Amino acid sequence: MKLCLLRIIFLLVLLLHTPSCITAKKDGGKGSGPTPGKNKKEQISPLSKTALPEFPPAVYASVTVAASAALPSILYTFRDVITEQGKDIAPFVPFRRWQVLNTFIFLFNRWAGKRPGRMDMKQPRAEASQKKEVARFFTPAGWAFRIWIPIFIGETIFVFYQALPINYIKNKDFLAMLSPFWIAAIGFQSIWTFCARPWAVENGYGWIQAALLVLTGVALSGVHKVMTSQPHTLVGDLNILDFIVAQIPLSLHFGWMMAAGLVSVNGVLARTPLTIRAKHLFSDASVVVATVIGVVVAAKRTDPVVAFALSWALAGLADDKAWEKLKSTVAFARLQSSAKLAKRCSNILALTIVGLTIEKAFEFWFHHSYADALPAQS
């Protein structure tokens, strides 16, 4: 039955993640470039549009802050209603409330993430590159951001899995318990997509982006704590399928968001009138903070996946491509020292991954081989 469920989920994921370039090739033949003979107006990318109505930046900032403040309050107030077990929404609706809410917030996030005009999309990024560059430290090389591919695919599988209307899924307490934290995390991330735009960055509201990413990490920490606390572990009521489908993608997301929060905070700092030296020192301090938090959280919760996400981010930071734009404004020796620090810290986290993987494997093997033979503790 589990194998059948995995096959169904995998097919649905493939449908959701079918590359849009396939349809583009059908329409445009060989190339993806502009078709000869079309005027410039027709060739303008839709990403150059903001996709948001025109309002003063202060209005957007107020709405964003209000929504971010209201979300955790609402979830805390209704947490018992959200996580209620043993009862479907209605006799003709065979789902728990948390299943529906988890699915809704995920789909809303996917919709919000596809709205054009964000600063991390191609057209706005190209337009921003034509403006005056700022000395931005603590930004991993572009390849490091490909970690979003397994995160998105893994969390799509997780959402399908937790939404299956069968008792095997609906009676899993850990899925109900992590739901308020998951809804908060994806909610904050959805709000972030509406403020990661020129209206915020160019009008002094970039701190809102940083705050939302930090809040996303805090909420995902709650998700992670539920999955790594007894009895919701591999030696408790979590089985291998739960670990692969739920814990791995959510832990990967949690670890990456810790790094993303620091990237965003450093990005805000880059736009301040602080000296290059101050920004450089803050970047190095961020590397150390990421390493310490990664080692402590991963070791305390026995989860190598979190350490992997942070090690990956710091490896991207140690790459020469991460510092390429700073070579003309920052001394090479300073960049080299930061790259070496990031590489050492990435290696520390890599050693943590190895140690925790061995510990987790031994713990799982011992529990399933000898736990039943040990006398029960009173």
| Position 333 pLDDT exceeds 80 | yes
Name the band, by pLDDT with cuts 50, 70 and 90, for residue 113: confident
- pLDDT, position 327: 83
Please tell me the distance from the alpha carbon of residue 293 to that of residue 15, in angstroms, as a whole number.
37
- Compute and round to an integer the Cα radius of gyration of the chain: 23
| Position 312 pLDDT exceeds 90 | yes
- pLDDT, position 342: 95
Backbone angles phi, psi at 127, to 5 degrees: -65, -40
Average pLDDT over residues 85-101: 88
Q: Which residue has the tokens 């940083």?
A: 210
Please tell me the distance from the alpha carbon of residue 151 to that of residue 378, in angstroms, as a whole number.
42
- pLDDT, position 132: 53
The angle, 0 to 180 degrees and rounded to 10, between the axes of the packed helices 248-270 and 304-318 is 40
Six-digit token string for 10: 């995998």
* Residues 353-369 pLDDT 10s: 999 999 888 877 766 66
Global pTM value: 0.81
* Residues 43-67 pLDDT 10s: 433 333 456 677 778 888 888 899 9
Hey, what amino acid is at 145?
A: F
Average pLDDT value for the chain: 81
- pLDDT, position 234: 63
Average pLDDT over residues 302-314: 96
Backbone angles phi, psi at 93, to 5 degrees: -120, 95
* Residues 246-292 pLDDT 10s: 999 999 999 999 999 999 999 999 888 888 889 999 999 999 999 99
> Do residues 117 and 124 touch, judged by C-beta distance below 8 A?
yes
Q: Which residues are CB-neighbours of 263 under 8 A, at least 6 positions away?
A: 138, 139, 140
Hey, what amino acid is at 135?
A: A
- pLDDT, position 38: 42
- Candidate from 18-27, 302-311, 336-345 with smallest mean pLDDT: 18-27
Q: Which residues are CB-neighbours of 174 under 8 A, at least 6 positions away?
A: 226, 227, 232, 237, 238, 242, 246
Six-digit token string for 283: 């970047």
Hey, what amino acid is at 58?
A: A
- Candidate from 34-43, 78-87, 217-226 with smallest mean pLDDT: 34-43
| C-alpha separations of 288 from 198, 345, 349 in Å | 31, 7, 11
- pLDDT, position 87: 83
Burial class (CB in 10 A: 0-12, 13-18, 19+), 124: buried
| Position 227 pLDDT exceeds 50 | yes
- CA quadruple 328, 331, 332, 337: dihedral, nearest 10: -140
- pLDDT, position 86: 79
| Position 107 pLDDT exceeds 60 | yes
> Do residues 184 and 153 touch, judged by C-beta distance below 8 A?
no
* Residues 191-204 pLDDT 10s: 999 888 888 888 88
- pLDDT, position 349: 97
Name the band, by pLDDT with cuts 50, 70 and 90, for residue 329: confident
- Candidate from 115-124, 185-194, 218-227, 235-244 with smallest mean pLDDT: 115-124
Domain ranges of the chain: 135-372
- pLDDT, position 100: 95
Please tell me the distance from the alpha carbon of residue 19 to that of residue 22, in angstroms, as a whole number.
6
Closest CA to 51 of 111, 107, 108: 111
- pLDDT, position 55: 75
